[in-house]
Every structure is written in structure tokens, then in C-alpha cells.
Amino acid sequence: MALHICIAQLNFVVGDMPGNAQKIIDAARQAYEQGARLVLTPELSICGYAAEDLFLRPAFIAACDDAVKTVARELAGLKGLHVVVGHPVGGDVRSKSVQVQRRLNAASVLKEGRVLETYAKRELPNYQVFDERRYFTPGRGSCVFQVEGINVGLLICEDAWFDEPAMLAQESGAELLAVINASPFHVGKGGERVARMADRARAVNLPVVYAHLVGGQDEVVFDGASFAVGADGTLVGRAPAFQEDLFQVTADVAGDGLALTAPMAPVREPEADLWDALVLGVRDYIGKNGFPGVLLGLSGGIDSALVLAIAVDALGKDKVRAVMMPSPYTADISWIDARDMAARLGVRYDEISIVPQFEAFKAALADEFKGLPEDTAEENIQARIRGVLLMALSNKFGSIVLTTGNKSEMATGYCTLYGDMAGGFAVIKDVLKTAVFRLARWRNLNDPYGTGAAPIPERIITRPPSAELRADQVDQDSLPPYEVLDAILSRYMENDEGVEQVVAAGFERAVVERVARLVRINEYKRRQAPVGIRVTHRGFGKDWRYPITGKFRA
């Protein structure tokens, strides 16, 4: 007899326990009608992942408990249905100076109105963006339950990356491993997951069903793409990425084991994954926080062009507004290309000159600056005028400002506090400049959301990048060529290589030391930057925690 499994690959809202519970209930009912007798929801599906310090609030845990009971009660009439839900359990012992965890990252198996089993995650990640040991204590033992005569071993995310939890489940009689997950996206992570679960399947000679979360939560994005692998490690099915899905997997008895069958979503390009991650990150940040729309400064340069294209794909043209704010140093081609791109995408476009304000600031500071040449001070005044104008429009009309700085700029401090860094969400904060160019070219060749082909004028992609804050300025006046800079940043910042290692890889010492110094001295800027979407394995967010004040040199 076959077991029909539904992976409820859903997009939850952190802290919306009633809404999340209803989404699980609706999905379970639909899956049951389609023949499923086991429904797997993602890790911490009841409360959303990750709830951070909300886990420390007793009222939050109590609301999660109530939501689990609601799901069990509402699905009680569906005979034979087993639903796995993720939720926190328990509390802690606290004083003002000491905290002892008693809280668990758990999953419960619900059947016909009652909790059949509850399993607690054993392996708690505490690296990159993860802080689970701050909130949870490790579980013990294993959890194996029977559905339609098949013994299912339950694991939670990180458990499946280690040997012991799966081996314990196997020793307890499991014939199939069900792994519920909330694994943040970064480029290349999908392939790594499949490879590790294939290794786990082969190690215990059991098939694995991997149920994954989808959606954006502050700086992290979850990509879905749930999957199933056979006992021999062969990938047998994969759900679509970056969208909700009720993904059906069938387990049939075959000889001494089980054979899994499932639909197979096509293999995707890395640029498609990256684009969809940025789009989903914007859509969910704006939508889940209730902003009516977004606005951004459109300069005629490639960074703001890319952000505009992402925003329109995420939200639609009617929720996006672009503002061009020319200065005395803005080239004609910049406003020509900005107008062209806004017209191609159909967004509202306005031009507000900053020349009067810039002249007023210079006049006010004339006595202070007397006898001194124009330098970064005057450049930053222009950026800050633009920031003030965008924030004024945001305050007046409620739309959030999207900043347009990329990871290369964030790393080296090639950005202005309270200027181009002013805003509420940094869309390409974790995208290196070379990847910005690559994504722009990819988007001009693809129209994944039907918002318009080739939205970025070719000249924006091919002209030398410039902040246009002084005459004849180009980025390479202040930075190494981006191909060199980004290669160094990938080694030094993303992979923790020291200066000597980077130099040994063939880069000029003076350039490497300069880049390392820029990364080091601009930590104070990054601490004041808006939250942005993480798309690499090391971003300038939760997984970058360096002191502002310090003397160590790598």
C-alpha cells in the first residue's frame, strides 16, 4: 500500500500564529482531499522562522501552544491524517544576570485531534545567521511514528546534517526519514542541501523527504525547492523554488525498502535563483510589514536601475516610484537613461533638482570652508540632500525608501551615511558589483514576472560606473577595478582569508592591504545601514559581527 505524502511548502508570517495555523489547516484539508495521509510543514511553521527574541516571551510560547491545539482540533475529523507542525515548547529560568534554557525547537505529530508525538531538535546551529542556542536547548532521543503501515522517522533541519539523529531513527525502526526545515537561501545552497541529504540517505539506507520553508523574513529568504531522495541518494523529485506549493510525494513498498516518486521541477540558472530571492525578499518585506509601496532615487546608474527592476518585478509598477535628483555634475545621459527606464517599466517618475539646495548649503558653509578646496564634504552634501528629499517623500506618502548600494560599496565604505544609505531596505546590499552587472544582463534577456522585456537601457550597463558627485568622476578613481575588488572581497570578507593568503593567490599586496583597511575602518557605517537581503553565505548582517573598535589586523 502506498503512502501519499504532502510537503506543505508555505510562506508564513513570524508571530501570526492564528494566520499560520489557518494556512496549515487549509493546506492539510486540501492535501487530504488529494489523498495525502502525511502532511509535513516546515520547521517552526506555527510561529514562523525565525522569531528571535520573541521566543523569550512566555506569552509568545503560550500563543504557539494555543495554535497547535487549534490545528489539532480543526483537523480532528480527517481520519488517518498525520500532520507534522513545527513549534517552540517550554521556557527558561531567568534572572537579570543569568538565563538557563528549558525551551525546545520542536515538532509535533497531530492525528485526529491529539498530539501523537513531539520531537525536539537535537542539533542547534549557532553560526552564520543562526542563534538557536540563544533560545533552545538540545533535544534527546528519536521520534518514529507509523502512517499507513510505514514507520516514519522525524528530524528537524540541522539534525539531518549530522550522523547520530538519523542513525537513532533508523535503529528505532524508521523506514523513511521526514526532515522539516527552515534553511536560509544563499547562492549554491540548494545543491549543497541535496548533496548532504543524499549522503544521509546512503549512510542509513533510507529515503529522505525534505520539507522546506519559502518566503522572506527580514534579511533572510527561504527558497522552498523541497525534494525527495531515494535510499541510494538519487534525487527523485523537487518542488518549485521561491513559491508556495503542496508538493506530493508517494512512497511505495519495493522489496525490502521504499521507492519514492514525485514531480521534478527543472534545474535553474544561478542568476534565476538570485533574481527570485531578491524579488521575494522585497515582496515579503514590503507586504508583511504593510508598506503601501516603495520609492527610490533613480540616478541613471546600474545599481539603482537594477533595484528598480527588482522592485517592479516584486510589487508591480503601481507600487513603485522613481525620483531623479540631478546635481551640477549629473551628465545628460544619466537623466535621459533614467527617463527611458522609468518609461519602459511604466512607473511614476519625477525629477527634483538638488542644485538650489546644494548652493544654499555651500553658501551657509562658505565662511567655514573658506580657502579650502572642494572634496568629499561637498560630495556628501549632495548625497545627503537626496536622502532628505527621499525620506521627506516617504514620510509624507508612507512608501518605504529602497537604498541602492551594493556589497562592494558597503564593504569599502564607498557610500554616504545619511545620504545614499538613508532608507528602510537595502535590496542589493549583499550583491557584489560584478554580480550587479551580471544580473542586469540576465534580466534584460529574461522577463520572469511579465513586467517588460529588456527594462534596463544598454548604456546604463556599458558606461563606466560613477557617483557623479564631482566633475568627470568614475568609481575607479577611488576603488580598484571591480573585478579585482570583488575577487579580493570574496576571499577576505566572505571566506575569512588573511592578507597573506590573498596575496599568495596572485593579488598585489598594496591593493589587498588597502581593501582590507577599507573593510576594517568602515564597520561604523555598516552598523548604521538598513537591513538588506542576504544572498551569499556571508553577508553584512547577522553573520558579520565585527567590533567597531579594535586593533587586530588580519
Cβ neighbours of residue 443 under 8 Å, at least 6 residues apart?
275, 306, 309, 455, 456
Q: Give kind and range of the element (H or E) at residue 55.
A: none
166-200: string of b/e by CB count within 10 Å (b at 16+)? bebbbeeebbbbbbbbbbbbbbebbeebbeebbeb
Is residue 525 part of the annotated active site? The answer reads no
HEC readout, 405-471:
CCHHHHHHCCCCCCCCCCCCEECCCCCCHHHHHHHHHHHHHCCCCCCCCCCCCHHHHHCCCCCCCCC
Q: Give kind and range of the element (H or E) at residue 353.
A: none
Question: Which is nearest to 389 in space by CA: 404, 407, 405, 401?
Answer: 401
Is residue 64 part of the annotated active site? The answer reads no
State the DSSP code for 366: T
The residue annotated as part of the active site, out of 43, 74, 379, 494, is 43
Query: CA 207 to CA 211: how far, in whole Å?
Result: 13
The residue annotated as part of the active site, out of 111, 121, 525, 542, is 121
Question: 454 preceded by cis ω (within 30°)?
Answer: no
Q: Which residue has the cell 542547534?
A: 124
The residue annotated as part of the active site, out of 6, 47, 143, 157, is 157
C-alpha cell at 353: 533638482
C-alpha cell at 334: 544619466
Is residue 23 part of the annotated active site? The answer reads no
Query: CA 424 to CA 402: how far, in whole Å?
Result: 6
Query: CA 61 to CA 277: how far, in whole Å?
Result: 30
Number of H helices, E strands in the chain: 17, 22
State the DSSP code for 497: -
Query: CA 333 to CA 339: how far, in whole Å?
Result: 10
Query: CA 467 to CA 476: how far, in whole Å?
Result: 11
**Which residues are part of the catalytic machinery?**
43, 121, 157
